[in-house]
Structure 1
Amino acid sequence: MWPDGNDRGRIPPNMDEPLDELVNLVGLAKPVPGQVRIDGNEPVFPCRFPLASLSAAALAACGLAVSELWELRTGRRQQVGVGLRHAGASLLSFAFLRAPDIGIRGVSPTIGLYRARDGRWIHLHGGFPHLAAGTLRILGCGEDRQAIAKAVQGWDAEALEEALAQARLCGAVVRSAEEWFAHPQGRALAALPVVEVVRIGEGQATPRFVAARPLSGIRVLDLTRVLAGPTCSRTLAEHGADVLRVTCPRLPDVEPFVVDTGHGKLSTVLDLDTAEDMERLKHLASESDVFVDGYRSGALERRGFGPQILCALGRGIVYVSVNCYGHRGPWRERAGWEQLAQSVTGLAYDHGGTEAPALVPAAACDYTTGYLAALGALVGLARRAREGGSWHVRASLCQTAMWIHRRGSDELTAPRQASTHEAMITSRPSSFSAEEIAAFSTESVTAHGRIRHLAPALRLSETPPRWERPSAPLGTHPPVWPG
């Protein structure tokens, strides 16, 4: 299995602790000696946070969870392997996508760090056209970086943050970790684990059957956007689940993100403002095993698709909730992005310094949250198989950011690389060579043409992770489960 032909597992120094934490947190069986192998060492990125190690730990924990599901079906455990640098590259997966005529062409100046009148920094995020227009309306200026900087100078940072939130727009003040833990939202998350798996309903244990892959026969309904939620369902597709992504015809999206997170999925369009499509979604949900909700907390629940409502269907479901600010506290219904989670929790403050905060050079909160949510879903499926019932998985970008921050160490500090949203999405990351990325990549033939993209970073001894379906444009498929 392993590249050097050696079947002995090994985990680099300081890697066993985060993996053990996740194993204990979600109640996985402790791996037997030699079962897990993680190749490589930090630092991978030029920052004091072990971004690649935590990604690798989350992926290895997913591998152990898949192994448990496989053992339920076959009686056999699998060996689990992760390459540390491949796991790190996966935190910038969209940046390594090579597809004809697909890319991010220009970045709105409404996305970025700006200094306010009181000297504090705020990260604005007009990532979709309506968010950009609303941000400019609040600021009273045109879409020009200098004009925005001048307009932000007319506000105190927290006042602007609150004005944006009241208008259902996106922006976050850069805080230190100490400030975040003193904030009501930080306090609400402080006692929570990085991912939660809780029982929310009763039901019979699901039958176990032998199948070709660990998640063969599992249906995943994917109502998510951008990166974290779609990464969760893409991770489940790696192991044979049938994933159906559902999007709304009126909602914008980011095409490179759609392609990057669409591997292995079917994609359909439903308009929940119509009675007909509401009924279609209810029917799909009634036949699903996993439901992934990546919208603002409460948004789908108000439309009749919350965890308790779907749990009441009685067949046993794993409901996964993914958002930015967490599922408790005064900010639980605020929309957010990777950059805002980094800003509020202390990552940007500690990475760039007090005078010039900066993003860490990876979308570490988004992708790692996706892996952690997938871990929760896998554990929920195993519990459903053993014990029955319905299970609720909760993960958020801010809980992940806080987990990353706790693992920071000055021992990792290399020359720090400050990053911006624009640099992250428009240039090939410098931490990886072209030869490395070629080794980590695979090709797919899609409706977009032949594309090159990262392959799964996780390795398993019996059922190598792979995507059976190519990434498809939104709305390609009818709203039905495959036969």
Structure 2
Amino acid sequence: MATPSAIERASWTRDLLASLGRADTSNQHALQIIGRDPVIATRFRAGEAAAAVLAANAIAAADLWCARGGRPQRIEVDVRAAAASLVSFLYQRCQGASLDRSPQPTTALYRARDGRWVHLHGGFSSREGTLALLKCDDDAGAIANAVASWDAQALEDALADRGVCGAKLRSADEWRAHPQGVALAQVPVVEVLRLGDAAPEPIPGPRAGAHGARPLSGVRVLDLTRVLAGPTCARTLAEHGAEVLHVRSPKLPSIEPFVIDANPGKRSCFLDLDSREDAERMRALVRDAHVFSQGYRPGALARRGFSPEGLAEMRPGIIAVSIDCYGHEGPFAGWPGWEQLAQTVTGMAHEHAGDEHPALVPAAINDYTTGYLGALGVMCALARRATEGGSWHVRVSLARTAMWIMSLPRTAPEDKPGGFDMASITPWIIEMNTAWGPLTRLGPIARMSETPPRWDLPPAPLGSDPAAWR
């Protein structure tokens, strides 16, 4: 007999699918979600939330398989493995060496003069801008002294004015009352918006039973994202058979462990969209694509001619995906942000550890889950396009995902986190030969009876492939 927790999780999965226009076909596929939270050391049901979204993804992929003439599927998702996927970069081993990263002093919570806390995020180009604003060295003590000379709201405003990352710690009540929280509360966790008219398109690729047929065979995905939600979205599509071409500017820095974690199943090329020739190559790729997924701040690609509306004119029937931190409407839309800041502004970090010594949930809980939600939106948009036609815009954000996770029940205070080690997740560990050497890592989490998810390609070094479809 199903436990109440299992019943709840199945309802989360059904609700997500229903919100995206999927008819109730609850008897078509057999779903089982195994295990329960807490796994990670938090009262948020992180593993169960991720498992519910991964189950929704598997059902959406199974629906597309049935549209190809395939049979309904048995689907199984393990909560412990789903929780491990929220820290999957920590479970990579390349030639026996861990690929984790050391913390940076410009990415941490610091107490301001008024007693409130601010989370700085000096990743990529924000580091120099953060230090320039604070007028201090890249040292935790120096940064703490500098932040202590500011009030928290004034520092958040100054960081935003400079276009660098950082946010004030808020409680959930403060976020719900904030204009950005109000704006996000009015949209679903996954938005699928019609961009324009286009003729219906059948799911591309071979019918079930043909050699190599999979749920997303023939679906071409352009992946213009980095760390971590955006690449996870395209990686999830790749595990169901999509052809993914990851496109990166040669000018942008990268974090190699995250590239290795998020890029299996993809090929990778360089294009500089500030170059007229490379921009034309991108337009040629778009005209033959089905999905265009981007994770840069709003306006960055629009200025280069690749807004969702521009993509729909260029390639009627395209599914554009926009992934950001704070949401796509409201006063924070356009602000740069990352996992840590989504936890900070929404009240997640405040509830997790309190405001006296706040701390983050020890997982990229919003990053990976948002990536899974983006992939779910794409698969549901593909199904709608096949019957309704149209060009579509899928929008997800880390902060909206955090709000959804926070809307779910908590674990009991007396429950002890089960945790996970390599032994407990061994059934999901796979081996790949890569350009970096032999790699062991966490594989796809969902189990599907007819079309087991897998990656056909190892992660590729950035720019190692031509800017062309296979």
**Equivalent residue, structure 1, for 2:162:** 167
| Match among 76, 85, 104 for residue 108 of structure 1 | 104
Q: Secondary structure at the match of 1:198?
A: strand
Taking structure 2 as the reference length, what is the TM-score of the superposition?
Answer: 0.95
Matched, 1:473 2:470: no
Q: Which residue of 1 aligns with 2:18?
A: 24
Matches within 5 A, 1:235-254: 235-254=236-255
Distance 2:336 2:415 in 1: 33
CA distance in structure 1 between the partners assigned to 2:411 and 2:429 by the alignment: 32
Distance, in Å, in 2 between the alignment partners of 1:150 and 1:256 is 32
Secondary structure of the residue aligned to 1:411 is coil
Letter of the 2:94 counterpart: A
Is the 2:89–2:100 contact (alpha carbons within 8 Å) kept by the matching residues of 1? no
- Residue number in structure 2 paired with 1:210: 207
Hey, what does 1:329 align to over in structure 2? 330
Amino acid at match of 1:92: V
For 1:116, give the aligned amino acid.
A
Size of the alignment, in residue pairs?
A: 461
Tell me: CA distance 1:58–1:20, structure 2 relative to 1, closer, same or farther (3 Å). Answer: same
224-233 or 72-81: bigger deviation: 72-81
Which letter does structure 2 place at the counterpart of 1:171? Answer: G
1:71 alignment partner in structure 2:
66
Residues 167-207 of structure 1: CA distance to partner in whole angstroms, max 9, x if unpaired?
A: 11000111001101111111111111111111111111113
- CA–CA separation in structure 1 for the residues paired with 2:120 and 2:416: 27
Contact 1:43 1:412 survives alignment (8 Å) = no
Which aligned pairs between 1:170-249 and structure 2 lie closer than 5 A?
Answer: 170-208=165-203, 209-211=206-208, 212-249=213-250
Question: Which residue identity lines up with residue 264 of structure 2 in the other structure?
Answer: H
Query: How much has 1:413 moved relative to structure 2?
Result: 5.6
Give per-residue Cα distances to partners, 1:242-278, cap 9 Å, x unaligned: 0000001111111111100001000000111111100
CA–CA distance in structure 1, aligned partners of residues 351 and 382 of structure 2: 38
Distance 1:465 1:84 in 2: 17
1:191-250 CA-partner distances (Å, limit 9, x unpaired):
111111111111111135515111111100000011000000000000110000000111
Report the Cα distance in structure 2 between the residues aligned to 1:54 and 1:20, rounded to whole angstroms: 13
Q: Is the 8 A contact 2:299 2:307 kept in 1?
A: yes
Percent sequence identity is: 52
- Tell me, what secondary structure is at the counterpart of 1:16? helix
Cα distance in 2 between the residues matched to 1:292 and 1:461: 28
Structure 1 residue identity aligned to 2:121? H
The answer to whether the 8 Å contact 1:43/1:50 transfers is: yes
Given the superposition, is the C-alpha separation of residues 190 and 218 from structure 1 closer, same or farther in structure 2, using an over 3 Å criterion?
same
CA RMSD of aligned residues (A): 1.8
Alpha-carbon distance, 1:437 to partner: 2.9
User: Where does structure 1 lack aligned partners over 5 or more consecutive residues?
Assistant: 1-7, 417-429
Task: Give how far 1:76 is off.
Answer: 2.5
Matching residue of 1:425: none
Any gaps of 5 or more consecutive residues in structure 2?
Answer: none
**Match 2:115 to one of 116, 119, 122:** 119
User: How far is 1:125 from its partner?
Assistant: 0.4
C-alpha change, 1:38 and 1:10, in structure 2 (3 Å) is: farther
Question: For 2:190 and 2:101, how far apart are their aligned partners in 1?
Answer: 34
- Equivalent-residue separation in structure 2 for 1:98 and 1:9 (angstroms): 36
Specify the SS of the correspondent of 2:314: coil
Residue of structure 1 equivalent to 2:40 = 45
Q: Is the 8 A contact 1:11 1:36 kept in 2?
A: no
Change (3 A) 1:162 1:413: farther
Paired letter, 1:52: G
Secondary structure at the counterpart of residue 298 of structure 2: coil
Decide which of 124, 133, 140 is 2:135's aligned counterpart. 140
- Please tell me whether the aligned partners of residues 46 and 414 of structure 1 are also in contact (alpha carbons under 8 angstroms): no
SS in 1 for 2:109: strand
Q: Indicate conservation of the 8 Å contact 1:42/1:412, yes or no.
A: no
Q: 1:178 to 1:238 in 2, by over 3 A?
A: same
Work out the CA distance in 2 between the residues paired with 1:474 and 1:87: 27
Greater shift, 14-23 or 183-192, is seen at 14-23
CA displacement at 1:16 relative to structure 2: 2.3
Cα offset, 1:439, TM superposition: 2.6
User: Which residue identity is paired with 1:454?
Assistant: L
Residue aligning to 1:151:
146
Query: Aligned AA for 2:114?
Result: D
What secondary structure, in the 3-state scheme, does the structure 1 residue paired with 2:359 have?
coil
The alpha carbon displacement at 1:297 in A equals: 1.2
Structure 2 counterpart of 1:19, one-letter code: T
User: Structure 1: how far apart are the matches of 2:407 and 2:4?
Assistant: 24
Residue 195 of structure 2 aligns to a residue in which SS?
A: strand
Work out whether 1:99 is the aligned partner of 2:94: yes
Equivalent position of 1:12 in the other structure: 6
**For the residues of structure 1 that align with 2:419 and 2:339, how far apart are their CA atoms?**
20
TM-score, normalised to structure 1, is: 0.92
Amino acid of the residue matched to residue 459 of structure 1? R
Report the Cα distance in structure 1 between the residues aligned to 2:466 and 2:29, rounded to whole angstroms: 45
Q: What is aligned with 2:368?
A: 367
**Matches of 1:105 and 1:80 in 2, distance apart?**
34
Q: Partners of 1:292 and 1:262 in 2: how far apart?
A: 14
